[in-house]
Amino acid sequence: MSEQTQAVDDVRHICGISGGKDSSALAVYLKDSVPQMEYFFCDTGAELPETYEFLARLEVILGKPIARLNAERGFDHWFEIFRGALPSPQMRWCTKNMKIKPLEKWIGDDPAISYVAIRADEANRKGYVSTKPNIESQFPFVEDDIDHAGVMRILDDAGIGLPAYYEWRTRSGCYFCFYQRKAEWIGLADRHPELFERAVAIEQKVLQDAGVSGDADFGDQAMKGRQYTWSGGETLVQLRARRDEILERNEAALSHSSRSLSNLPLIDALADAFDEEDDSAACTVCAL
Amino acid sequence: MTALSEFVRVSERFARSSNLERDTARVEPLEGYVVTARALDVVQRISSAAISGPAGGAWSLTGPYGSGKSSLALLLDAAFGPAGQTRDAALALLNSGSDAGLQVGDAHSHHRTEQRGFHRGMVTACREPLTLTVLRALQTAVCRSYGKIPPIRSFPAAKVLRQALEDAEASVLDPRRTGPSPAGLLEVAQCLAADGPLLLVFDEFGKNLEAVADRAATTSSDTDPYLLQQLAEAGQGHGLPIFILTLQHQSFDDYLSAVEIPKRREWAKVQGRFEDVAYVESPAQTRALIGSVFTVDDEKLLSRIQRWARPQSKAMQSLGVADLADPAVAASCWPLHPVAAVVLSELCRRYGQHERTLFSFLTGQEVAGKNGFLATTDLPNRGTPPVLGLDDVYDYFVGSGGLTAMTAASSSRWIEIATRLRDAHGLSDRQLRVAKTVAMLNLVSTSGTIRASEHVMELIEPGTGEILDELCESGIVTYRSFSDEYRIWQGTDVDIRSLVEEARLQVQRRGIFEVMSSMSDPQPVVAARHSAKHDCLRVFCQRFVSCNDKADPLDAFSPYDGQVLLVVDGDQPPPLANIPVGGAKPTVAAIPRVEDMVSVEAAARELVSLQRVLQDSVVESDWVARHEMSERLAVAQVAFEQAVFIAFSSGSCRWVLLEGDAEEDLRAGRGSSVLSDASDRAYPSTPSIPNEMINRTHLTSQGAKARRMLIEAMIEHGSEPLLGFEGNGPEVAMYKAALSHTRLHLREKASGQMAFKAPSGGEAAKKLLPAWTVLASEFDRAKRRRVNLNDIIASLQSPPIGMKAGVVPVMIVAGLLTHRDVIAIYEHGTFRPQLTSDMAERMVKNPAFFEIKHFANASGARKQVVNALAERLGIQDKEQTQGAAPNLLVGNVLSVVSDLVSRVRRLDNFTQRTRNLPPSVLTVREELLRAVEPDDLLFVSLPEAFNLPPVKTTDDSYSKAKYLATEVSNALETLEVTSNQLLSEASELLIASGGGTSRETVVERAASLDPEVLDSTIRPFVLALANDGTDDDLAWIATIATVVSQKSPAEWTDEDSGRFRRTLPQQMAAFERLLALYAESIAGREGKDIDCAREACDRQQHDECTATPTALSVTVTRPDGREHARFVNIQADLRDDLTEVLDEAMAKVELMVGSGEKAQQALLALIGERVLEGFKDE
């Protein structure tokens, strides 16, 4: 690989950072071998504080800035443009407008090599592999046989560790991500009550503290009268009221899975406890 | 036995159809003709007119297809023709049973035409101008009377006629020619009539009227109505004996329904000159005709038929069919069963071409033909003679598809019945016959007495009850109790009729406006002329209103440019409610004539009644009823729309422009000219934006995308030609129409770069100027207070500008860019230092969230402060270096505040949060971060931060201006270096903790440790210290700080900073201890000190050293998870002896535990335990 990348040419070398462990490890891993690497992060403006903090840490470690794509047109922007019509699995404007489009605009028509953080032990996972002809994808972890342990080692060595949200959540992404589990919503309510409140407001088509004049209410606008809920079948307020029940069931699921999978770090235990599919399957681009 | 045909004669009454040109003057077509009551009536009208005076008359005969109109024309031609065989035949027909023949004779004697007869022009019209048809009729009349066109001395109009024929030929060849002149034709007709009575018959006159409708679309003038009118008038009163007869299927008006109202009125006037004669036979008359078809001469059979007819006529009496109650009439219908006769006449009327169909059946193959009923049925010697029943009628009409012309409304039932019977298998002959009888009755049944009730079925064929039961059982036939009827078609138990009646009654009680308020409003209309003239579609919505209710004017955000109030209940326009802010869009009231409104009202009430029935739960749950109601509703809907169209057409109602309390009648012109007039008045200052994609109310998604690109380019590439666009995409077209064509975006002379400017020069710019002035005055208004963007949009969309919603955002952005040095933008109340493209996107979507405020260039003391700050902050320089492109401009409040706010917002989080700053700097930071009002910030808050008095507008000068500028600038500089300061301090702390050496020595010392042998708790720290990937001291320390605190210094809080200061020395101490241990181990192994180990060894030796380390890092984990790490080493000279001891011990233990591996583990565990004991105190 080093032969390919050391040659200085017009090809851009890009590495997407999702805010999760794998892509961060890849960035660190390639830091020296691909010095011309451009790191990018598609910013929704609604990431968890832990993610932003982690990115800042990573930037220091990488010794260069991570390009924040889409910084001007984050979730709040689109929420206003769509006048309160929220993204959902059926209408995933979030991914399209805040991830794919900004990325494709940023890359433009330049020939580029995109380094994708798929590990050797998850060769079946589908990452975001661009369909644009000018982008070639490479999978260094697969090529160099780096697995989960290897990734942890890279992060440990860099002294960067894991993003703090792994203590209560299995993936990066928006604080109100509609793919997060009910227990994770409870986690949000516990760790970031102000963000939880903001998500509650958004659910009611209100953007809190849009400016000095206060909230921006879209209740009378798009899809008037239709109650969207972030989490299936109940509003966040109802979900929070079931806090103990949700946590109890979460514990049960956890202990069930840890019987067969002992000594796993929490994040892996969580991931295995809840979904058989990889945690990136829900939102491949978000976990880019 | 003998076939019936031997006993029955069938009159060849009607040929299938007659043709005037072909059949005139021949006897044959008259053979077998039976003069119907209607025909007699017409003949009598003409002859009595001819007898009563010198003049003629005009009649228009309206009758359906196949009712015998053309045959009547032939009869007239013969009766009023010259003496001879043909006339005799005609008169004989007329004299049988009436005295009409005698009257015709009197007419001839009155006009002395006993020998030569009337001049007769009989033509069948084509789809052509009436002049051509009349010409042909006249030519025929002349030729038939004179043999050829006579010389001018015997026929003064001969030359005119020839000329007309030439003109006609020319006009056929070249449609631009006008054809024969109506005056000439009139002259010919008058000339003929002066010689003797003239009878003109126009068959298929509807074709002429259709031609009128065709032409209406292309030409404005039409001479046809005048010609016909003059011809008719010439024969009336004391005029000449001109008799005109037009034959058509529907009234004039029906043919002309697609023609504009004024033209229709002209024709209505013409029709007024004609006497209308409805040419339809009543069912009884039709049955009388049926009776005339069959003649039986055999006395014995006749008496058998009469015997048969008696009970039949009684039965018919019980059914209320009066004419057939006469046994003679019933007998005359034989071999048709009386019920078949009733059904047949109704069937032909409803589904066929009336008498033509009827007689095609009776006299054609099916009954009288070689293989027909009469020829194939034998007459038994005794008993009831055989009868043609309904099942035979069914076979002809339905089974063999004898009927094809069917109206949509009735065809569904027809098809349903036919399909049902066709698909019914396994029925016996008798069952099938009964089923067919039921089918025929169903087809004509209108819930009268003639329906498939048990009673009627029994009359037709005694003993059918049982068979009906069988049919019911097999599901072919259903008994409907509410109507006491057997049905083949599914039908419904819902009593639709009474539901409709009830609904009508209810609707009747309500006022017409109440009724119509539930209707959907008519389609919007375009003011065509105005729209074309201004490249701007003006659309008026229409709605029904009551003249008693106040009408709301349209607001600026309505998608329509005006409204038409269709007044439904009075002759006055409704009062107008208050005019909205920004001026009202035009409101026009349309007040129809009372008589037009009557038909609208009737149609509306019917429509609403049907709607109510359709919503009835009984109907909703019955699909047959629902289906029927839907069909009726569709018909009613069309009728209603038609009535509305007529009532509110341009020429037929009064148009009133409403302006506040004032009303003004508008002159009705063609089409939408009224609305164009209203638009001209309301929108005199419409700008010209010749691009349909943007100059509209709702943009397409492509249009919206192009506009987004345009606005983005305006903001980001305003200084470039074509805004940096390439190619010819829609955004370029929009640019050219909205910005280039209007000269809003021009090259600035001073800078030589493109820029946005007030429009000037050129026609389009002139037309845009009023809009620009409105925009400028709105910006001016913002000097006093913030102005919401929606207010500005409202004023641009309202009269007199009426700018389309699609263009407005582009204009506003152009305005904001032009005035960017004085206009501050607030989003959700928050001051935005500059207009960005993402903001513009939100602005387009939700303008109400944005406000603007105008900051005029400051003066006096404030100007002094602004200039001092601008100078100190280097804003002037920025202007010079960046040319005209930047988003910030010089020398005023906004540019200074924008610069300050932008700078402070770029600071990292630590700097934005830390409290460890001088109080004045903190205040400056806070004020800038929450800046709301630029002038408050600049002239009140910032001076306050430095204990200075506010800068008042009233003061001429401010002595502390320079001081203030310096302090603010210093504060900003302090803020901007704060994060670097933090890192520098961290660096100093690190160096100091490491014994006062330099960064280079720290890096070198850390690099000397082999990371592979380091414990994971210390390894990242050591790696960070050893990081030589950067030349930048601050980047180096930032990495270390991040590793130590697990947080980027840019994200630190003051607490993080403090924690770092406490942690770093501890980590450094650990690092030092590690270094010492490592140096010791190497020195012990090699007998050299650490410096020697690194510098005296050559590279290869060193690699060997590190490849086989003698020092080990051993980590022991306690059961509770605590870990202990130690470096352990062996003195090189003892290594061999110790290895020997170990091998011995291993051999012994191996004997005890079984394997070498187990032995190793056991020993290791034992040593581990000992080591742990040693760690107890840690």
Tell me the pLDDT tens digit for each residue of B1015-1056.
Answer: 667 778 888 888 877 778 888 888 889 888 888 898 899 999
Return phi, psi of residue B1026, to 5°: -85, 0
pLDDT level of residue B915 (50, 70, 90 thresholds): very high
Q: Choosing among B1048, B1056, B1071, which should be mutated to test the A contact, i.e. which has the most A CBs within 10 A? A: B1048
Rounded Cα gap, residues B1003 and B935, in angstroms = 52
Return phi, psi of residue B665, to 5°: -75, 135
Tell me the pLDDT tens digit for each residue of B769-819.
Answer: 999 999 999 999 998 889 999 999 999 999 899 999 999 999 999 999 998
Return phi, psi of residue B659, to 5°: -130, 100
Structure token digits, residue B817: 């860019």
Tell me the pLDDT tens digit for each residue of B396-427.
Answer: 777 655 554 444 445 567 767 777 777 777 88
CB atoms within 10 A of CB B102: 13
Decide if B927 contacts B964 (C-beta within 8 A).
no
- Shortest CB distance from B1048 goes to which of A53, A72, A216? A53
| CB contact (8 A) between residue B1023 and residue A160 | no
Residues of A in contact with B1039 (CB under 8 A): 60-61, 63
Helix (H) or strand (E) holding B1114: strand B1112-1117
Decide if B168 contacts B162 (C-beta within 8 A).
no
ipTM, 2 decimals? Answer: 0.83
Residues of A in contact with B826 (CB under 8 A): 211-212
- Shortest CB distance from B1029 goes to which of A52, A63, A77? A63
Residues of B in contact with A214 (CB under 8 A): 828-829
- How far is C-alpha B610 from the geometric centre of its chain's CA atoms? 25
- Shortest CB distance from A60 goes to which of B826, B1020, B1039? B1039
CB-based contacts of B279: which residues, under 8 Å, 6+ apart? Answer: B38, B42, B61, B62, B63, B67, B68, B69, B72, B247
Decide if B261 contacts B592 (C-beta within 8 A).
no
| A234 at interface of B, judged by CB pairs closer than 8 A | no
Res B740: pLDDT:
92
Residues of A in contact with B1038 (CB under 8 A): 60
Res B146: pLDDT:
87
Nearest CA in chain B to A49: B1051
- Shortest CB distance from B1030 goes to which of A63, A211, A214? A63
| A68 at interface of B, judged by CB pairs closer than 8 A | no
Res B1095: pLDDT:
36
> Does B1007 or A115 have the greater pLDDT score?
A115
Res A10: pLDDT:
79
Radius of gyration of chain B (CA): 53
Tell me the pLDDT tens digit for each residue of B847-869.
Answer: 999 999 988 777 788 888 988 99
Report strand pairing: B478-480 vs B8-10: unpaired
| CB contact (8 A) between residue A214 and residue B1021 | no
Helix (H) or strand (E) holding B8: strand B8-10
> Does B304 or B879 have the greater pLDDT score?
B304
Decide if B742 contacts B768 (C-beta within 8 A).
yes
Question: What is the full DSSP assignment across B783-815?
Answer: TTS-EEHHHHHHHHHSTTT---TTTHHHHHHHH
Res B335: pLDDT:
84
Amino acid at B938: L
Nearest CA in chain A to B1043: A159
Quick one: CA dihedral B126, B129, B135, B141, positive or negative? positive
Predicted confidence (pLDDT) at residue B877 exceeds the cutoff of 70: no
Tell me the pLDDT tens digit for each residue of B193-251.
Answer: 888 899 999 988 888 888 877 776 555 456 677 888 888 888 777 778 999 999 888 77
Quote the percentage of chain B above a pLDDT of 70. Answer: 87
Tell me the pLDDT tens digit for each residue of B1109-1128.
Answer: 455 556 666 777 666 666 66
Predicted confidence (pLDDT) at residue B926 exceeds the cutoff of 60: yes
Question: What is the full DSSP assignment across A128-174?
Answer: -----TTEEEE-HHHHTT--HHHHHHHHHHHT----GGGGT-SS-SB
Rounded Cα gap, residues A86 and A198, in angstroms = 13
Res B405: pLDDT:
42
Amino acid at B759: P
Rounded Cα gap, residues B1026 and A15, in angstroms = 25
- Shortest CB distance from B842 goes to which of A81, A158, A159? A81
Report strand pairing: A112-115 vs A67-69: unpaired
Residues of B in contact with A60 (CB under 8 A): 1035, 1038-1039, 1041-1042, 1048-1049
- Shortest CB distance from B1023 goes to which of A57, A77, A157? A157
pLDDT level of residue B883 (50, 70, 90 thresholds): very low
Res B1055: pLDDT:
93
Nearest CA in chain B to A158: B1020
Rounded Cα gap, residues B321 and B304, in angstroms = 23
Res A26: pLDDT:
94
- Shortest CB distance from B1047 goes to which of A57, A214, A216? A57
A149-158, B451-460, B726-735: range with lowest mean pLDDT: B451-460
B282-286, B386-390, B914-918, B1126-1130: range with lowest mean pLDDT: B1126-1130
Res B1098: pLDDT:
41
DSSP B857: P
| CB contact (8 A) between residue A83 and residue B846 | yes
CB atoms within 10 A of CB B191: 19
What's the rounded mean pLDDT across residues B385-392? 84
> Does B707 or B37 have the greater pLDDT score?
B707
CB-based contacts of A152: which residues, under 8 Å, 6+ apart? Answer: A21, A25, A265
Q: Is the peptide bond before B770 cis (omega within 30 degrees of 0)?
A: no
Res B329: pLDDT:
84
Chain B residues touching chain A at CB-CB below 8 Å: 826-830, 836-838, 841-842, 845-846, 849, 930, 932, 1011, 1016, 1019-1021, 1023-1024, 1029-1030, 1035, 1038-1039, 1041-1043, 1046-1051
Decide if A286 contacts A18 (C-beta within 8 A).
yes
Structure token digits, residue B504: 């009508």
For residue B1013, with 0-12 CB atoms within 10 Å meaning exposed, 13-18 middle and 19 or more buried, which class applies? Answer: middle
Decide if B284 contacts B322 (C-beta within 8 A).
yes
Res B197: pLDDT:
92
What's the rounded mean pLDDT across residues B463-487? 81
Res B315: pLDDT:
84
Rounded Cα gap, residues B1016 and B943, in angstroms = 54
Rounded Cα gap, residues B706 and B731, in angstroms = 5
pLDDT level of residue B98 (50, 70, 90 thresholds): confident
Strand partners, A7: none
pLDDT level of residue B720 (50, 70, 90 thresholds): very high
Rounded Cα gap, residues B335 and A4, in angstroms = 105
Res B932: pLDDT:
78
Query: What average pLDDT does chain B have?
Result: 82
Rounded Cα gap, residues A174 and A153, in angstroms = 27
Structure token digits, residue B209: 């009227």
What's the rounded mean pLDDT across residues B926-932? 84
> Does B15 or A14 have the greater pLDDT score?
A14
Tell me the pLDDT tens digit for each residue of B514-572.
Answer: 888 888 888 899 998 999 888 889 999 999 999 888 888 888 889 999 999 999 988 88
With the CA atoms of B736, B740, B744 and B746 taken in that order, what torsion angle do they form, in degrees rounded to the nearest 10?
Answer: 140
Nearest CA in chain B to A82: B845
Nearest CA in chain B to A157: B1020
Residues of B in contact with A216 (CB under 8 A): 828, 846, 849
Query: 3-state SS string over chain A?
Result: CHHHHHCCCCCEEEEECCCCHHHHHHHHHHCCCCCCCEEEEECCCCECHHHHHHHHHHHHHHCCCCEEECCCCCHHHHHHHCCCCCCCCCCCHHHHHHHHHHHHHHHCCCCEEEECCCCHHHCCCCCCCCCCCCEEEECHHHHCCCCHHHHHHHHHHHCCCCCHHHHCCCCCCECCCCCCCHHHHHHHHHHCHHHHHHHHHHHCCEEEEEECCEEEECCCCCCCCCCCCCECCECHHHHHHCHHHHHHHHHHHHHHHHHHCCCCCHHHHHHHHHCCCCCCCCCCCCCC
Rounded Cα gap, residues A286 and A179, in angstroms = 11
pLDDT level of residue B706 (50, 70, 90 thresholds): very high
Predicted confidence (pLDDT) at residue B896 exceeds the cutoff of 90: no
Query: What average pLDDT does chain A have?
Result: 79
Q: How many Cβ pairs closer than 8 A exist between chain A and B?
A: 92
Q: Is the peptide bond before B800 cis (omega within 30 degrees of 0)?
A: yes
What's the rounded mean pLDDT across residues B876-891? 42
* pLDDT averaged per 10 residues in sequence order, chain A, 288 residues: 50 90 92 90 89 87 86 87 83 82 85 89 66 83 91 87 87 86 91 93 84 78 68 86 88 68 48 39 42
| CB contact (8 A) between residue A56 and residue B1047 | yes
Degrees, nearest 5: CA angle B826-B829-B835: 20
Task: Name the H helices within B80-205.
Answer: 85-95, 100-110, 130-146, 158-173, 182-195
- Shortest CB distance from B830 goes to which of A31, A72, A211? A211
Predicted confidence (pLDDT) at residue B481 exceeds the cutoff of 80: no
Structure token digits, residue A86: 């929220």
C-alpha neighbours within 13 Å on the C-beta side of residue A282 = 16
Q: Choosing among A17, A44, A61, which should be mutated to test the B contact, i.e. which has the most B CBs within 10 A? A: A61
- Shortest CB distance from B1020 goes to which of A56, A59, A159? A159
Rounded Cα gap, residues A152 and A169, in angstroms = 17
Decide if A40 contacts A170 (C-beta within 8 A).
no
| A214 at interface of B, judged by CB pairs closer than 8 A | yes
Quote the percentage of chain B above a pLDDT of 90. Answer: 24
